[in-house]
Amino acid sequence: MDIDWLDFWRELVIANSHTVDSGLVHRYVSHARKRSERPDPLLGFVLQGMDNQTTIVDIGAGTGRWAIPLARVGREVTAVEPSGAMADILRGNLASAGVGNVTIIPCSWEEAIVRPHDIVVCSHAMYASPDFGAFVRKMEQCARKTCYLAIRLPAVDGILGELSLAIYGHRHDSPNAIIAYNALYTMGIYANALVENNIYRWTNTTLEEAFDRAKRHLHLESSDAHDTLIRDTLARRLRLVDNTYIWPDGMRSVLLWWDPATG
Residue 13 is predicted with a pLDDT of 96
Whole-prediction pTM = 0.91
Average pLDDT in the 4-31 region? 73
pLDDT band at 20 (very low <50, low <70, confident <90, very high): very low
Q: What is the pLDDT of residues 241-260, one digit of tens each?
A: 999 999 999 989 999 999 99
User: What proportion of the chain, given as a percentage, has pLDDT over 90?
Assistant: 87
Q: Where are the domains of the chain?
A: 5-203+251-258
Residue 17 is predicted with a pLDDT of 84
Question: Edge-to-edge, what's the strand order for the sheet holding 244-251?
Answer: 200-204, 244-251, 239-241
156: Cβ contacts below 8 Å, ≥ 6 apart: none
pLDDT band at 35 (very low <50, low <70, confident <90, very high): low
d(CA 104, CA 115): 13
Q: What is the pLDDT of residues 148-194, one digit of tens each?
A: 999 999 999 999 999 999 999 999 999 999 999 999 999 999 999 99
Contacts made by residues 169-173, CB under 8 angstroms, sequence distance 24+: 172/8, 172/12, 173/12, 173/217, 173/218, 173/219
Residue 84 is predicted with a pLDDT of 96
Span 5-203+251-258 CATH architecture: 3-Layer(aba) Sandwich (3.40)
